[in-house]
Structure 1
Amino acid sequence: MHRSSLAPTDSGLPHSPLRFAPIKLRADPTRVVLRPFNISLDRSDGAGPSRAARLVADILRLDAAAAERELARVEQDFADRHWQMDRIFEARCDAIAAQMTLDITLLGTTRRRLIGAYFCQEYSHAAAAIMNPSMVAHPDQSGLIDGAQRFLMSVRTVGEGHISSIAFREGLIEADGGLRLWPEGGPAMAAVIAPPRTERADACVQIERQAGCNLSNCVIFPVTEAQRNGLEDLRLVRFVHDDGRAEYLGTYTAYSGRAIRSELLRTRDFQRFELIPLSGRAARDKGMALFPRMIDGRYMMIGREDGKNVTLLQSRSLTDWDSPGKRLLEPEYPWEFVQMGNCGSPIETAQGWILLTHGVGAMRKYCLGAVLLDRADPSRILARCAEPILTAAESDREGYVPNVVYSCGAMLVGDRLMIPYGIADSAVGFAHVKVADLLRFMR
């Protein structure tokens, strides 16, 4: 378990109230999962068998001894890298058989697993980048003392083909600001689709963690055509309904490779998840962040409909956002002139809603700021940072996308905000600030 006390560090801004932890998460090519290896099921020449069909035929031509030897080689190479590998192979074989209308009732276990192995691959989901974290209170807060809180954090990871996925980490924030990250402690495992599966592009898809996989080892990959090229920038929030029921909601960007849209992740326990497409004109944009409760009978979101300014959105429906937004913030200071956006859901305090923001200035340099919104009427701005609270320090500006700092959601712990943030799309760092100090930093 990693532990760090947060200590003052130069952020490049002499008056910034933030304090920083030396802990950083970085891209890690050793974190691999088993994923489907997709081989064409279409006929190659319009008449003959498909490439996949020819591969299955080659496997079935092996005699029993050869099939057993080949499966033994696969197990020797990969068994210690993947838990429940044989079960995954059998499930993959069943899926291929269903797609090819192949009768596998007479196949033995060896051939089923071998077919599954040929249609699987290792994928290093965080080999290229890790970025844009979002932190919320953990569902399990039992047994804690002295003001400590458990947290869970989502991160965007990027692997081969620049495909983005959602991964998680768990940990503990102590009363004095000390930060502990729980070890991943085992192989990563991809969440799987829970039956029944629908093929409608606008339908909700249910997925679930595999049996025995803890949350810090769970990875959510794209599972629909609209998500084909990535699930980007999950903004988690613990949402409390008017009747007191709580659940975890998260908006993210689904990218097909041609188009984007906003979708909603919904879960109560982080064991089973719903992935729900959002509808309406606002859902065609990126960076939507949900308020953690309804206000005056309406759901509210922070959005950016024009790519430059921050808007306030309202809806009677959690999944339909067709009403035009009201402009809430526009660039005012030089570090915001290119564009502004949110850095996660607004956080409710006694003084008002604290909304972390990002601004982009000269040389495409990203900075983090904050505004204070009225609790009863979030369209009213009470205070605003004239200078950023966080910018790329000299030691943090290098990476996959230099000069970027970015967060998708902070967490209130006692009298301070804990802010995880992405560094140059290559790492994740941690900072915290006392609410009183942050408010004094605003105008």
Structure 2
Amino acid sequence: MTVKRLGIQLLPQPEKVVLRFFSPGEKERIEHIIARVFTMTDREVEEELRTVIEKFDYHHDQLEEILAKNYKKISRFIFTDREPDDRRKLFIGSLFTSEYSIEAAALFNPSIVVHPDQSNLPEDSIRFILSLRATGEGHISSLVFRQGVMHKDGSIIIEDSGQRYVIPPHIVENTQYNRELFIAQLKEQRLYNIFAEALFAEMPEIFGYRRLIEAIENLREAEALHSEEFLRTLESIEWFASFNQEVYFDPDIPMDMRIISPSIVVDLKGLEDARFVKFIDDKGIPTYYATYTAYDGRSFSPQLLATKDFNHFRFISLTGKAVKNKGFALFPKKIGGRYCMIGRQDNENITIMFSENINFWNEYRIILRPKYSWEIIQLGNCGSPIETDAGWLLFTHGVGPMRHYSMGAVLLDKEKPYKVIGRLKRPFLEAQADERSGYVPNVIYSCGALQHKDKLLIPYAMSDYITSFAEVETDELVKQILKDGN
């Protein structure tokens, strides 16, 4: 079996930055900074602001918008009745703004799907979207994107806007929720009690975030005695609603200038290893889902992101007994009328999961255990299964001696995907000499591949640092899997 490395490398670019809110300390220090600004003359403020804008002019119109937003965040600390003029507000905002280098440490763990727009392409070419995990200072991981084209001859081109800054999405201010589903998820998490029941008693079938927050505040005011359980319940419901929110990008923003950072989601410190899949529902309508790992600073949990067009995204909480550990990967369609997902609940074995509802996952069973030396420590998936004539092709990763990660592959039965048809005895992709050094040495890893015609395009990360690409003939890989047997 021949695996062709394409020689393309996507390196982390420390110059890619995002503007974010910066707090230098507690309330007293913030007040001291603001007080110093009010001692400055209008001319001094104008000169300093002009210098800031000149130094950071590559952020274009976004700069003043962010400075204004960050001023609003600290405006409650203004101690005078005198309203500062717009220029002074912007200068104050600049003192509470900083650049964050999103790829300072690594750009890795890629996933790939067909782009929703396949117009204006040469014959037999395909446009794709690549998602990547970008890691910066403090090991904070965000989700970023690239757009590219794979041509008939197997060559690929990754588009680059040439901009050094990235733009976070807008948050939909009044995200809509389904009452029945919301309550069911609260019950799964054991958050539905007499206080939650009182809150939702007057809530309509479809309600908005603003309506919910208003109802929470009204209940807080109506309740004479605020017990610990009462406060915890309302805080948990508010957090849950904030987590399941919607965000959107302006469609004209280039794909490589978009970032979904953990700061978008309440209390999230990392958004890691998104595995995108183009899911086709029973009516033939596509939705792009991404299972990802949410890190809150202490623990990890698998969650879901959904989009139709890569402009508008919705965060979706996954709940149930099976929702634990890392590395979930959704099948691209229902099987036997149910959603199906690959998972891992015990750090060692690959499982398969079924559910009637994409939000709830309670049922799972082990389908693959470590067997060969290169996977003796643990097994996991490398993205969503790909449908072939022979069965579901699932890429795996194995961890062997010296914590060496490599990629293997298995075939699952098309109708009974819990049944393993064949399994590679040896990895088909592992780190070569020049791929072994990086943030985490000796690691080859992927979060998804793309099938086009008779080829499989596999983006993969080298040593948790940079991203490259490999190709393999689908039939050749499948024949080797069947030859090795189960």
TM-score of the aligned structures, taking structure 2 as reference length = 0.82
Instruction: Name which of 58, 64, 73 aligns with 1:95.
Output: 73
Find out whether 1:236 has 2:236 as its counterpart: no
- Greater shift, 222-231 or 59-68, is seen at 222-231
Instruction: Name which of 432, 437, 442 aligns with 1:403.
Output: 442
Preserved CA contact (<8 Å) 2:34 2:92: yes
Find out whether 1:71 has 2:49 as its counterpart: yes
Counterpart-to-counterpart distance in 1, 2:251 and 2:38: 30
Instruction: Provide closer, same or farther for how the CA distance between residues 434 and 231 of structure 1 changes in structure 2, counting only shifts above 3 A.
Output: same
Preserved CA contact (<8 Å) 1:194 1:207: yes
Name the structure 2 match of 1:195.
173
Structure 1 residue 372: deviation in Å? 0.7
What's the secondary structure of 1:433's corresponding residue?
A: strand
Find out whether 1:362 has 2:339 as its counterpart: no
Name the structure 2 match of 1:166.
143
Name the structure 1 match of 2:310.
270
| Equivalent residue runs for 1:12-161 within 5 Å | 16-40=1-25, 43=27, 50-97=28-75, 106-161=83-138
Preserved CA contact (<8 Å) 2:251 2:311: no
Counterpart-to-counterpart distance in 2, 1:235 and 1:294: 17
What's the secondary structure of 2:239's corresponding residue?
A: coil
| Equivalent residue runs for 1:195-234 within 5 Å | 195-196=173-174, 200-203=238-241, 204-209=244-249, 212-223=252-263, 228-234=268-274
Name the structure 2 match of 1:47.
none
Structure 1 residue 39: deviation in Å? 4.0
What's the secondary structure of 1:184's corresponding residue?
A: coil
Counterpart-to-counterpart distance in 1, 2:327 and 2:78: 42
Preserved CA contact (<8 Å) 1:226 1:254: no
**CA displacement, residues 97-128 of structure 1 (integer Å, 9 cap, x when unaligned):** 3x658899943221221122111100110011
Structure ranking higher in helix proportion: 2
Structure 2 runs not aligned, ≥5 long = 176-208, 210-234
What's the secondary structure of 1:142's corresponding residue?
A: coil
Counterpart-to-counterpart distance in 1, 2:451 and 2:2: 16
Counterpart-to-counterpart distance in 1, 2:267 and 2:6: 34
| Equivalent residue runs for 1:317-356 within 5 Å | 317-323=357-363, 325-356=364-395
Structure 1 residue 225: deviation in Å? 6.5
Q: Quick one: which amino acid aligns to residue 20 of structure 1?
A: R
Q: Quick one: which amino acid aligns to residue 22 of structure 1?
A: G
What's the secondary structure of 1:21's corresponding residue?
A: strand
Counterpart-to-counterpart distance in 2, 1:52 and 1:246: 48
Find out whether 1:285 has 2:325 as its counterpart: yes
**CA displacement, residues 136-184 of structure 1 (integer Å, 9 cap, x when unaligned):** 0001101223210000000001101110011100000011101111113
Find out whether 1:388 has 2:388 as its counterpart: no
Preserved CA contact (<8 Å) 1:347 1:353: yes
Name the count of aligned residue pairs. 419
Find out whether 1:306 has 2:306 as its counterpart: no
What's the secondary structure of 1:376's corresponding residue?
A: coil
- Greater shift, 227-236 or 244-253, is seen at 227-236
Q: Percent identity?
A: 40
Counterpart-to-counterpart distance in 2, 1:391 and 1:436: 20
**CA displacement, residues 183-233 of structure 1 (integer Å, 9 cap, x when unaligned):** 133232222433148683323022222575221111111126665321110
What's the secondary structure of 1:306's corresponding residue?
A: coil
Find out whether 1:376 has 2:438 as its counterpart: no
Counterpart-to-counterpart distance in 1, 2:36 and 2:102: 30
Counterpart-to-counterpart distance in 2, 1:139 and 1:362: 41
Preserved CA contact (<8 Å) 1:206 1:273: yes
**CA displacement, residues 44-93 of structure 1 (integer Å, 9 cap, x when unaligned):** xxxxxx33233233323322111111111111211135552112211222
Counterpart-to-counterpart distance in 2, 1:412 and 1:104: 63
Counterpart-to-counterpart distance in 2, 1:266 and 1:103: 45
**CA displacement, residues 271-317 of structure 1 (integer Å, 9 cap, x when unaligned):** 12112221112222111001111111211110011100000011111
Structure whose alpha-carbon radius of gyration is higher? 2
**CA displacement, residues 332-382 of structure 1 (integer Å, 9 cap, x when unaligned):** 111110000000001112221100000011111011000111111111111
